[in-house]
C-alpha cells in the first residue's frame, strides 16, 4: 500500500498466535480460544528439516483447521524450495504465503505466481540477513517478516538487536512512501511487545505467549491490549518516531 499524505505510516497492530506452540491434541479448541481472545490471524510454520533444523507439519494441518476458523491463515514456509510447496499450501486454505528470501532464487517470479493465485505475499528474513537483500522486491510484498530469533524452534528469547532492524525497515518504507505490514516472529512477550511496537512493527507472531499460556484466551487478549496501548502512544508521537535518513 502506498503511504498517503498525512497518513500514519504504521498500520494498527495484529496479534497472530502461532500454531506451532498449540496443544496438538486439541487444536480446534485451541483455535477457538485464540479467536475469543481477539486473535487477528493464525500462523502456521511449515518446516522441512533442511532450511531449518526441525520438521513441523505440512499443509494438512492448514486444511484440517480451515473449516474451524474464519481467521486469515498465514503460511510461513521455512523450506529450501518454497516454490514447490506454495500450491499445496494455497489449496489447503492458506491466505497469506510468506517465503524466505534466503531460500528463493527467483523471488519476483514467485511473487507473480502468488499474486495470480489470489493470496497475500510475504517475504521473511533471518536475523543475520541484511535489509539490502529485499531492496528490489520490497515494493511487491504485502508483508515483511523479520525473524527475531534463529528460525526452527519455539520458546527462544527475542534478539535485542532486532529492534534496530525493525526501526530501520520502517524508516526505509517511509522513505519509499510505503505503508506495509512488518511482522516479527520469535520471542514476542508481554514485557517486550511495547518496545517492538515503538520500533515500527505491527504484526506480532506469538507462540509461547499465547498458546503456551495456561489461559490462551486471556493471554491473547492481554497481548493485544498492551500492543494497542503502545500503538496509541506511538500515534501521538507522530512521524518523528522514525528517523528517515536521506
pLDDT of residue 101 exceeding 90: yes
What tens digit of pLDDT does each residue of 196-205 get?
A: 999 999 999 9
- Quote the CA–CA distance of 243 and 32 in Å, as a whole number: 40
Residues known to be catalytic: 45, 185
pLDDT of residue 5 exceeding 60: no
What band does 239 get if pLDDT is binned at 50, 70 and 90? Answer: low
| DSSP bridge pairs for 122 | 98, 143
Name residue, grid cell 491466505: 95
From the CB of residue 106, how many other CB atoms can be counted at a distance below 10 Å?
10
What is the pLDDT, as a whole number, of residue 245?
44
Q: In what order do the strands lie in the sheet with 143-147?
A: 14-17, 203-206, 181-185, 143-147, 120-125, 96-100, 73-78, 42-47
C-alpha cell at 133: 537483500
Q: What is the Cα 66 distance to its own chain's centre?
A: 19
This prediction's pTM: 0.94
Q: Which domains does the chain have, with CATH numbers?
A: 14-238 (3.20.20.70)
What tens digit of pLDDT does each residue of 102-123 get?
A: 999 999 999 999 999 999 999 9
Mean pLDDT of 171-187: 95
- Quote the CA–CA distance of 205 and 187 in Å, as a whole number: 9
Q: Tally helices (H) and strands (E) across the chain.
A: 7, 8
What tens digit of pLDDT does each residue of 117-174 get?
A: 999 999 999 999 999 999 999 999 999 999 999 987 777 799 999 999 999 999 999 9
Amino acid at each position: 500500500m502506498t503511504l498517503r499524505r498525512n497518513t500514519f505510516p504504521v498500520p494498527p497492530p495484529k496479534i497472530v498466535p502461532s500454531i506451532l506452540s498449540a496443544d496438538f491434541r486439541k487444536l480446534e479448541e485451541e483455535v477457538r480460544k485464540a479467536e475469543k481472545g481477539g486473535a487477528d490471524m493464525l500462523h502456521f510454520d511449515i518446516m522441512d528439516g533442511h532450511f531449518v533444523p526441525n520438521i513441523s507439519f505440512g499443509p494438512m494441518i492448514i486444511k484440517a483447521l480451515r473449516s474451524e476458523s474464519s481467521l486469515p491463515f498465514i503460511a510461513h514456509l521455512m523450506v529450501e524450495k518454497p516454490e514447490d510447496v506454495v500450491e499445496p499450501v494455497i489449496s489447503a486454505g492458506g491466505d497469506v504465503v510468506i517465503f524466505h528470501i534466503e531460500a528463493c532464487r527467483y523471488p519476483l517470479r514467485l511473487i507473480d505466481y502468488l499474486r495470480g493465485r489470489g493470496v497475500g505475499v510475504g517475504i521473511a528474513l533471518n536475523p543475520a540477513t541484511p535489509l539490502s537483500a529485499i531492496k528490489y522486491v520490497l515494493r511487491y510484498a504485502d508483508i515483511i517478516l523479520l525473524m527475531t530469533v534463529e528460525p526452527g524452534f519455539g520458546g527462544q528469547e527475542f534478539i535485542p538487536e532486532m529492534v534496530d532492524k525493525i526501526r530501520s525497515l520502517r524508516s526505509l518504507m517511509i522513505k519509499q512512501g510505503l505503508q506495509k505490514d512488518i511482522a516479527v516472529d520469535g520471542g514476542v512477550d508481554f514485557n517486550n511487545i511495547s518496545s517492538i511496537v515503538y520500533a515500527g512493527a505491527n504484526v506480532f507472531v506469538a507462540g509461547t505467549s499465547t498458546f503456551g499460556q495456561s489461559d490462551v484466551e486471556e493471554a491473547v487478549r492481554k497481548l493485544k491490549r498492551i500492543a494497542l496501548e503502545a500503538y496509541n502512544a506511538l500515534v501521538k508521537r507522530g512521524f518523528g518516531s522514525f528517523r528517515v535518513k536521506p
